[in-house]
Structures are given as C-alpha cells and as structure tokens.
Amino acid sequence: MILVIAGATCREALRSRSFLGLLAFYAVGVLLARVVGWISATDGDLVTTDLVLSLQALVGVLVAVATGTALVHSEIKQRTLYTVLSRPIARWRFVLGKYLGLAGALAAGQAAMLALGLLWLAATGAPLHGALLLAGLLTAVEVLVMAAVALCWTALTSPLLAAALGLATYALGHAVATLPGMLPYLGGWRMTLAAVGASLIPNLGRFAYRNDAVHGVPLPLAELGLTLVYGGLWIALLVAITVAVYRRKQL
C-alpha cells in the first residue's frame, strides 16, 4: 500500500509544472554559472563547479520546501485525499507513502540536475572527478531531509508559514554547522542553552561535502556511511512526527 501511494505521488509530482519549472531554472542557472566562471580572473572552472553544485542544492531545497509544504495540505484543502483515506489505508501508511513518493520525485530531480551539471562541466572543459558525484549524492540526501522538514512544518501550521519556517530551518541547519568553534566562547549556561538548541536542528553542514569536493579532498567511506545514517535518522524522526500529527487531524 505504501509503495502504491508513493508511486502515484511520485508520478503526480514529476508531472507538475512547478517541478519542471524549477528544473528549467536550474538549467538556466548552470549556463550562467559558466559565464561567471569566465568573468573570474583565474580558476574559472573551479568557480563554475562551485556554482553548479550550489545550484543543485539551492534549487533542490526550493523544490523540496515548495512541494513538501503543499504535499498533504493541498490534498486536505482540495479533498483529493478523501478517495484514498476512505479506503482501508491507515493514515500513517498514507503519510509515509506520500513522503516516499515525494522523495522519489526529488531524488529523480537531483539525479537529473547532477547529470546535467556534470555534463555541462565536462562539455565546457572543467575537470571532473568522483568526489563531485559524492558531493551530489550528499546534496540529494540534504534535499530529502529538507523535504521531511517541510512536511513536518506543514502538519503543524499553514503552508505559507511552513515554507518560511522550512527555509529558516535550512539557514539554521547550516548555521549550526559553524557553532562548534564558537560555543566555547560562551561558557556556562549560555553554552549549554546554545548547545541544546542547536541539537534540536538537523546539522545540514554534514551534507555540504561539495565545499571540499571541488578541492579534491577525499571523503572517508565511514564518514559517508555515518552521514547517510544521520540523514535517515532525521528523516525518520520528522516523518514520525508528521504521522503523529495527522493521525489526530480532522480532515
């Protein structure tokens, strides 16, 4: 049942105009990234590669937040889920299926963006190496975590506010990554408070391997594995919270 719902959700998402529009936006951005590389006095290829990887993340997060906030809420608003939940489907299966479907669509989008980006880099003479693929993979996991964040926020509040909170979570998630070096300057209860608060937010910096990948810094397999587990843990937590909220929600 979960996979049936996921399949339909994935198909619906991949065919939506906003999804395709953002992919087109990515394509234009990648073209412009090359122009910026030309403007750069030196290391234009490196500049372009940086921008292409950043675009994959930023567009991916935008798509994740936009579709994640609309995913279940629009179904409730437009009543498309009435014909599904009136069937012998437990709500938790429905929510999980919706998330998996969205994750499938986002993963496909990320794969397409990564492929397009790498092809463009190769076509314009920028050097390619395996680290860029790994960077793309981890960016995709980051996007899936953000989709779960958006889904969870929508369960708790309106889609517009959920989108704003989702983007704020993205900014905070990366800010949290810069904290370890700064916390010791606080000391005492302030440090504890900051540490506790930061612990409640997914550390998205763990997925930002792209910043090291362009310099060819290798990523140990163990680190890669731990990061994937970390991402899975946060996704599971956020989806579980979403399920708990929707179980009691009046439709």
The binding site for other proteins (CB under 8 A) comprises 1, 4-5, 7-8, 11-12, 15-16, 36, 39-43, 46-47, 50-51, 53-54, 57-58, 78-80, 82-90, 170-171, 173-175, 177-178, 181-182, 204-205, 207-208, 210-211, 214-215, 217, 248, 250-251
Query: Would you say 90 or 237 has its CB closer to other proteins?
Result: 90
Smallest gap, in angstroms, from Cβ of residue 130 to other proteins?
18
Smallest gap, in angstroms, from Cβ of residue 68 to other proteins?
17
Rounded to the nearest angstrom, the gap between the alpha carbon of residue 111 and the centroid of all alpha carbons in its chain is: 13
Smallest gap, in angstroms, from Cβ of residue 107 to other proteins?
18
Query: Would you say 17 or 188 has its CB closer to other proteins?
Result: 17
Pick from 74, 60, 3: nearest CA to 204: 60
d(CA 196, CA 35): 43
Pick from 136, 132, 134, 141: nearest CA to 214: 132
Taking each helix axis as running N to C, give the angle between helix 44-71 and helix 159-177, from 0 to 180 degrees, rounded to the nearest 10. Answer: 140
Query: Would you say 181 or 184 has its CB closer to other proteins?
Result: 181
Query: Would you say 79 or 190 has its CB closer to other proteins?
Result: 79
Query: Would you say 79 or 129 has its CB closer to other proteins?
Result: 79
d(CA 86, CA 40): 59
Give the 3-state DSSP-derived string for 151-210, with helices as H, strands as E and coil as C.
Answer: HHHHHHCCHHHHHHHHHHHHHHHHHHHCCCCCHHHCCHHHHHHHHHHHHCCCCHHHHCCH
Smallest gap, in angstroms, from Cβ of residue 122 to other proteins?
20
The answer to whether residues 231 and 149 touch, using CB atoms and an 8 Å cutoff, is: no
Smallest gap, in angstroms, from Cβ of residue 59 to other proteins?
12
Query: Would you say 26 or 207 has its CB closer to other proteins?
Result: 207
Smallest gap, in angstroms, from Cβ of residue 50 to other proteins?
4
Smallest gap, in angstroms, from Cβ of residue 118 to other proteins?
17
Structural tokens at position 251: 């439709």
Handedness of CA 105, 106, 111, 117 (dihedral sign): positive
Structural tokens at position 175: 């800010």
Would you tell me how many other CB atoms lie within 10 Å of the CB of residue 207?
27
Query: Would you say 29 or 235 has its CB closer to other proteins?
Result: 29
